[in-house]
Structures are given as structure tokens and as C-alpha cells.
A and B are shown apart, each in its own frame.
Chain A
Amino acid sequence: MVQGVETHSHLPGLVVLIPIIFTALVGIFQKRSFLLRNWLFISGAAITFAGMALMGYYVLQGRILVINYLVAMFPFTITFRVDTLSFLIGVVAAGVWLLASIYCLQYMKDDHAPNRYFPVHIFTLAGSLGVFLAGNLYTFFLFYEVMAFSGYLFVIHAETPEAFKAGSRYLMVTILSGILVFTGVIITYQLAGTLDLGSLGIIPEANVVSLIAFVAFIIGFGFKAGLFPLHTWLPAAHPVAPSPASALLSGILIKTGAYGIIRVTYNVYGIEMMRDTGWPTILLIFAAITTLYGSMAALVQDNLKRRLAYSSISQIGYILMGGALLTERGLAGDVFHIVSHATIKSTLFLTAGAIITKTGIKYVSQMAGVGRKMPYTMGAFTLAALAMIGIPPLNGFVSKWALALGALDAGQPGYAVVLLISSMLNALYYLPIVILAYFRKPEEGTVLYGDMLRYDEARASMLVPILILALSLVIFNILPVNLPLVLAEFSARALFQH
């Protein structure tokens, strides 16, 4: 691939607009007919995914898609800019979203408030893609807020007291994160006179003010991503949300924070200033703590979705570490792990949701026998768990490999050790679930409903998305060219160019 010829295209704008249009359509027609709503809902996500995939045609040719709207309103210009990084994360987000959408038709069938959930589900896609495709910080911030506030409706969806409690925490974090990012953005504009994300480093010099902006960005995005000690909303919010929503919260939405940190580090400040000042070291240290803390906290959780949520925190630690190492291979690992964690964690949350709908099991300790009752679901879970631990040829292995190489490149072997320890901890909290599910006999009275001894798999419309996701954990890594890895390496190289 050759680097960066900018091409004008309305495609990115359309891709962000389509989910918004379909939100309106779903909102209008959902009361008329369920069937129509389902079709609109799926086709909204599908068309968006198709649009995203179409961009791949251009991006693989080495082009960068750029489009500006409202240019006269500078600095309030809406700009989309799709380079390899934006494309890779965007297409994965749209893909996971499509699968989660298919899944939630069945999952949300008997829901108490589908008329709220379905429009919000598809609207949040617009917010997330807007973040990933944004070409300037204003657009980024705009969609970041849209995505964050609509995520609130995911969290409180159950309308139980715990959900509202988690929701108010989420809301507090969202506002805090929003104003901190705003602070960063406004200081950037004051210092640089532009908000463009197209160049590598727009902040002219490193001083106290730009340090304040950097810290504001890191804390602001850290809240969203779940960086220790700003993570407290995350284990509260993920378990109470409906499973497809948890999958998206954990798989995609918290990645906006990680993605924001990459963009800020490499596009706003630029690699050279970051190397000279050494500011990312703070991030590196906190990311390492996050990794270990998340894994250790996950060990003691009995609530399955809560355990997955803590595992997300630990994985976000990997991701942030990769970016903060300031090496090309580290960044490639960062980007690749954003992608692989998006798929792995969505698989895990969707399987958790399938288990909940079929048996009512919410706790790890009740899971004995699930493997016999739901072999395919549990198979997907096992595969994802192994990927999380980092067994080759699963994608979790590839990202850990890249991250470890990045740590060695940076002359920081300590962080490779952190990765190893955390992988071991991953094994300690994922494998017991698998063992329990397959090799233990169910005890009496542990499940709410369903016969634990009889084969009873989830409906195809839930199972197929899970299986596709599970397949994606393997398939790309056994092909001769690991396309996501190539794209990740390429986007990392683009951010290191001078």
C-alpha cells in the first residue's frame, strides 16, 4: 500500500447519517408493525456496515477519504477523514454492531421497553462511527458527546434501582469526561489555531498549558475507557445493561476513549513531542496498573457479566499501554488489540446474554452443566476465553505478541512481564468457567428456569451472530495474510511518519 492520497468522498458522511435516518424510521414505524421495525433495524445496521466496507475499497488503495461540511463555520466545521486507522476500527464497530443488532431481535423480544431500546441502539452507532471517522476535534467531540449520552439509555434500560444507580454514575462520568475533553479541545484550538486531525502534531510547543490539555484529554478519555482509577462506572454499568448493549458498551463504546487517546497522542501532539517530553509515561504506568488491577478484580467476581467487565478494564490497560509505549510495533499492537478485544468481548457478552435468556444464570458459580445444555454457545465462549488468554492462533495471541514486541522495542521489558502476568490471571479467571460449564454436573435448584440436563441451544438468530464472531477470532489469523494485522501495522506506520 502507498501512503495517503486524499480523496473527497461523501461516503463517510453518509455512513454516519444512515443510522440517524434509520433511527427516525425505526422510531416512526415501530408502533405500526414489529416486522417492519425489525427489517428497518437490521437494514440500517447492514447498510451502514456495507458503506463502511465499501470504504475499504478506497482505503486499501492507500487513499484517505476526506469530506468537509459547513466549512464557513470554522472552527465548527464537520469533517470526516477516513484513514486506515479510522477505517479499521470503524468497520469492526459497524460489523459488531450489525451482529449485535441481529442478536437483539430475539434477545429483546419480550423486553419491557423495546420502543426505547431499538432507536437508541441504532442511534448510538451513528455516534460511535462519528467518533471513529471524525476528521477534526470538533466533530470528534460532537459525536463523542452524542455517543456518550445515548449510552446512558443502554445503562438504565432495565429501569431497576441498580440500573439507575449505575446510570447516574455513568452520567456523572460522561459529563466529567465531556468537560475534560472540551478543556483539551479548547486549549488545543487556542495553541494550534486549528482542530484538524489530519497532521501529525499540531501543538506548536510543549509547555504547562499544553501539559494541562494533555492531562485533561487523558483523564477525559480515561474515564470513558475505564482507566484505573477512573473505571468505577464500568463494572456497575455493564452488568445491568441488556447483553447486546453490554457487548457494544464493552466492545465498542469504551474503545472511543482508547481511540481518542491514540489520536491525541499521535495526531494532536505528535510522536516527537511525546518522546521529548515523556508525558505518556504517566499513562503507561496507570495502564499497567489498570491491567493488573482489572485482572485481579475479575478473579473474585461471581457475577459473570461483572467478571467480564473487569476483564475489559484489564484489556483496556493493554490497549492504552500499547499506545503509550511510543513504538511503532506497540501502537500496531494497540490498534490490533482494539479490534480483537472488540470481537472477543462482544462474543463473551453475547454468549453471557444467551445463557441468561436460556437459563437465567447470572453467576459463575451456577454455571455447572451449561456446556452440555448449550454446547455451541459455550464453545464460542471457550474460544473467546482462550483468545483472551492468548492462545495461538487466536487473535488475542497476535495482539499480545505485537504488544510485547512493542514493549521490548521501547526498552521496557517490564511491561512485557505485566502482559504475561495478566495473561496468567486471565487464564485463572476464564478457565474455571469453562471447566465448570463442561465438566461439572449441575446442582439442584441453581437455575431459575429450564432443564439443565437437556440439550437446549439458543435460537438461531442469537446463535449465528455469536458463531460468526467466534469464527472471526480464528479465521483472520490462519489466512496467509492477516488483514486486520496488516491494516493495524499500516495505520501505526502512518502515525510514525515524519
Chain B
Amino acid sequence: MIYQLPVLIVVQLLLGSFLMPIVGRIRNQLIPHISLFLMGLANVFSIILLFRVVREGNIHYHLGNWAPPWGIEIVADLLGAYMAVIITGISFLVLVFAWRDIQREINYALRGWFYTLVLLISGAMVGMVLTNDLFNLYVMVEIVSLCGPALVAIRNNRLAVEAGFKYLVMIALGSGPILFGIALIYMITGHLNMTFAGQEVLNVIHEYPRVALLAQAFFIVGFGVKAALFPLHVWLPDAYTSAPSPSSALLAGLAAKVYIVGLTRVLFNLYGIDVLATTPLFTILKVMAVAGIIMGSIMALNQKDIKRLVAYSSVAQIGYIFLGLSLATGFSVTGAILHILNHALIKSMMFLCCGVIIYQKKTSNVDELGGVGKEFPITMICFGIGAFAMVGIPMLNGFISKWYISLGALEYGGLAGLMYLLVIIISSLLNGLYYLPVLIKAFLGGDSQKETVFDKAPITLILPIVILAAGIIILGLLPFVPLQIAADAAQHLLGQ
């Protein structure tokens, strides 16, 4: 039974998602209960899986008992298992949050579909981080990509539909290159299993250097669009801003990160670090990452809408992750993977905080948020914790990943390394400059002009935020487990 776990989590979520419309026919009120139950169960399974992987090493599962290279192989390694815990955990909290929140944000008729989509996207995300099969990965990528715009457009107003459509077009443009890339790899290696294809690529790369390079380019563009790598991020601010808050939390916190995990897996498993180092890939990624860090932060400085501000900050943070990956030193890759994990927590929490603010105040304009800190201190303190984590104050998890990426920049060496360090610290400064005014406004900016909807926000809105904030502090103070996982993954990726 334990060895079925990796696939069980995925199947259970996907099946659950298809069941929801039927449940809705029988009794609409049951949908949230059942989906919460399924997601909680998936989270428990993921935690068991993680323990199992920590104790016994990777779990290989062959779908339908067809051994690779023919059958689909699912591999639960440390990174995959940990990501599964994060994905199901955050999705669970988002569902708890959504319980009350979507009553405000989504039409009655569409609420059932929201749960369908959340279960579907979580299942596909878990599938994406666990699969070792290229085509299976593509299927999961497609599911996530289609659920994303739907989760945005489900708000069903003009802005949301427009943003959702834009998102759909952009992200669909990204799917094509990924499929091309997979096809090219299949063409030159004859394998879809990443392990086998990876071994074969090393043999054939001298025969087909251009094809291999082209496939690489396709992967970067495809996944880059989906993960909002600058300058392919244009869909992101609109999508995250106009989506319902739980959707934003899911998309920004998890979906964008999962694509990066997918891209890392594909590139490093297929080509290996030695081949990657001979191509201009890392140079391109570095330039894009640095541009993303700086531009994302600068754009965030000018935003008046709190959700938009948090969204632009995402662009910068994704730049961080790509910078860490593309520096390709032990510390920097560790830092990048840590930041994937840490930023998932931070960003989900911040979007949920925005959700509370919007729920209570019916506005997201920063200027109208004076004094909200006095009215709902818990939410704003959590927002502050997130902001300080982004700035990189020790004891919060953002500091740990910033530390390792900076260390990676120094390890990279030379003047260039120092320049990257400079970029990182400038970005910290900018993070402070756009987050702290919001906090100052919230806590010291006089009394709010807008009326508050409820005296006390419902517990289902506050609890997920508090849990995530606690996670940020705990992982900042005791970063042992994620650090081990990230270091292990980095070692594996760099083939040391």
C-alpha cells in the first residue's frame, strides 16, 4: 500500500475532481466538505510518503506494472515528496480559506467548479513533481495550464475574463514549445523516460548537437512563459490581480513554482550539468533572471493595488530562483530550490492576506488601506512577516534562501559573482521599499475611510494565514529539513 502512495495521491485528487460535479447534482453543500476531506487525505498521504522517502530512499512506481522504458514511471524522490507535501498542504489551507471567501468572490453557480478546478490542479501539480516520464509530464503541465486561466476567469467579471483569456493565450503558446522539445528528444533518443532519455542524450549529442540545443531552447521558452520568467511574465500581473484571492494564492504560490521544478528536472536530468554548461543556456537565464529581479521590483514600487504589488514581487522572486539555478553552483542551486519551497509559503500567505483585506474592505487600493492594521492586526502582522521574509530578515525563511543564493553568487566567483550579489541586495532594498510603506500605512496611517464588513474576520480566513506565517517562522528558525532536501536535490542535479 505504501508503495502505491505516489500514484494514489494523484489519482485520488483527479478522481475527486471529476466526482465534484456529480456530488454537486446530489447536494451542493457537500462539495466543500468532500474536497477538503480529499485534500486533507492527500496531504496526510504526502507526509507519509515524505517520511518513507526520507527513511528508505526514492520510491519508484511503475504504472500498470509496465517497467520503464516502456511504461510510465513515477519517482518519488526527496524534492518531489517534499513538494507534494507543500502542494497538498497549501491547497488544503487555500480550500479552508475559500470556504468563506468565495461566497463573496464567485457566483453561486460557479462555486462547485472552483473545487473541481482546485482538486484538478493540485492533482496535476503533484503529478508533475513526481513523474519521471516526459509525456506524462507534458500531460500534467497541460492540465495545470488549463486550470490556471479557468481559476482566474471563474470570478466572471470583465477584468477576470480578460485576464484569464490573456493568460490562456500566453500559456497555451508555452505548451507548444514544450511539446516540440519533447518530440525532438524522443526523436533523437527514442525514449520518454527521463532517466533513459538522459543517458541516451549523452550518447547522441555529438550526432545531433543542434537538435539537442533546439529542444533545450524550446523547454526554456515553454516553461519560461508558464513560470513567468521575465520578459515572458506579461500575463502574470493581470491574472493574479483579477483572480479570486484563493486562486491567486494557488497560482502564485504553487503553479509557477511547479513549472520551475519541472523545467529543472527536464534540463538537468536530460542534459546533465556538463552539457548544459557548454550551451549559452545559463548566460541567457542569468540575464533574464537579473532583469526580472530588477524590473519586477521596480514595477512593484509603482503599484497602487496591493494584489498587483504582490504579483509584481512574484516576478522578482522568480528571477531569484532562476538566478540561483543558472549560477549552477552547489550553494546557488540549493538556494534556488529552497526559495521555491519558501516562496511558495510566503506568496500564498501574502495573497491570502490580500484576500482578507479585500473581503473586509472591498478595496485593494493601498491608499485606502490606512489603519487596517488596527482593525485586523493578525492579518496585517502576518502580511508583515511575509514582507520581512521577502526583505530577508533573519529568522524568517526568506533569509535562508537569500543567504544561499548570495553564497552561490560568491561561490560563482570573480567580479560577476559580486555583481550578482549586488543585484540580490539591491532587490532586498527594493523589496523593503515597496512592502514597508504598505505596512506603515496599515499600522500608522490614521483611520480607515472605508467601512469594514465584519468586526471580526471569520476564523476560516484567519487560520490558514496564521498557519502559513507560523510555517515561515519555523522554517526560518529551523531550516534543517528543507535545507537537507534542497542540498540533496542540488547535489543530485549537479551530479556531484
Contacts and interface: CB of A to CB of B under 8 A. Distances in A.
A271 B392 CA distance: 31
Interface string B389-400: 001111100001
B471 interface: no
Contacts of A212: 418
Contacts of B301: none
A73 interface: yes
Nearest to B421: A183
Nearest to A143: B394
Nearest to B431: A175
Contacts of A176: 429
B485 to A, nearest CB: 15
Contacts of A145: 393-394
Contacts of B395: 142
The 8 closest A-B pairs by CB, nearest first: A142-B394, A175-B432, A190-B410, A179-B425, A186-B406, A145-B393, A179-B428, A175-B429
Nearest to A186: B406
B477 interface: yes
A142 B436 CA distance: 18
Residue of A138, A171, A178, A179 with most chain B CB atoms under a 10 A cut-off: A179
Given A70-B478, A73-B478, A186 B394 contact: no
Contact of A182 (B388, B392, B410, B478): B392
Interface in A165-201: 167, 171-172, 175-176, 178-180, 182-183, 186-187, 189-190
A425 to B, nearest CB: 36
Contacts of A183: 421, 425
B393 A186 contact: no
B268 interface: no
Contacts of B407: 186, 189-190
B479 A76 contact: yes
B417 to A, nearest CB: 9
B433 interface: yes
A182 B444 contact: no
A72 B479 CA distance: 10
Interface of B: 388, 391-395, 400, 403, 406-407, 410-411, 418, 421, 425, 428-429, 432-433, 436, 440, 444, 477-480
B480 A73 contact: yes
30 contacts: A70-B478, A73-B479, A73-B480, A76-B400, A76-B479, A138-B394, A142-B393, A142-B394, A142-B395, A145-B394, A149-B388, A159-B444, A171-B440, A175-B429, A175-B432, A175-B433, A176-B429, A178-B393, A178-B428, A180-B425, A182-B406, A183-B421, A183-B425, A186-B403, A186-B410, A186-B421, A190-B411, A209-B410, A209-B418, A212-B418
A176 B426 CA distance: 9
Contact of B394 (A141, A159, A180): A141
Contacts of A72: 480
Interface string A235-252: 000000000000000000
A470 to B, nearest CB: 35
A59 interface: no
Contacts of B406: 182, 186
A156 interface: yes
Interface residues of A, number: 29
B394 A76 contact: yes
Interface string A298-329: 00000000000000000000000000000000
B33 to A, nearest CB: 36
Interface in A207-250: 209, 212
B428 A171 contact: no
A180 B426 CA distance: 10
Contacts of B444: 156, 159, 164
A70 B403 CA distance: 17
B235 to A, nearest CB: 31
Contacts of B429: 175-176, 179
Contacts of A179: 392, 425, 428-429
A219 to B, nearest CB: 12
A444 B376 CA distance: 50
Given A146-B393, A149-B388, A190-B411, 9 more contacts: A73-B477, A142-B394, A145-B393, A156-B440, A159-B444, A175-B436, A179-B428, A186-B410, A190-B410
A141 B406 CA distance: 16
Contacts of B418: 209, 212
A149 B395 CA distance: 14
A141 to B, nearest CB: 6
Contacts of A187: 410
Nearest to A175: B432
Contacts of B479: 73, 76
B134 to A, nearest CB: 38
A70 B480 CA distance: 10
Contacts of B400: 76
Contacts of B436: 171, 175
B379 to A, nearest CB: 18
Given A141-B394, A142-B395, A145-B394, A182 B411 contact: no
Contacts of B421: 183, 186
A146 B406 CA distance: 21
Contact of B428 (A76, A149, A182): A182
Nearest to B446: A159
Contacts of A171: 432, 436, 440
Interface in A1-54: none
B39 to A, nearest CB: 31
A139 B429 CA distance: 21
B180 to A, nearest CB: 41
A183 B407 CA distance: 10
Nearest to A180: B425
Nearest to B476: A76
Nearest to B432: A175
A145 B444 CA distance: 20
B477 A175 contact: no
Contacts of A209: 410, 418
Nearest to A113: B444
Contacts of B425: 179-180, 182-183
A213 to B, nearest CB: 10
Nearest to A145: B393
Contact of A175 (B391, B403, B440): B391
Contacts of A178: 391, 393, 428
A178 B388 CA distance: 12
Nearest to B403: A186
Contacts of A70: 477-478
A264 B433 CA distance: 28
B407 to A, nearest CB: 6
A422 to B, nearest CB: 34
A103 to B, nearest CB: 25
Contacts of B394: 76, 138, 141-142, 145
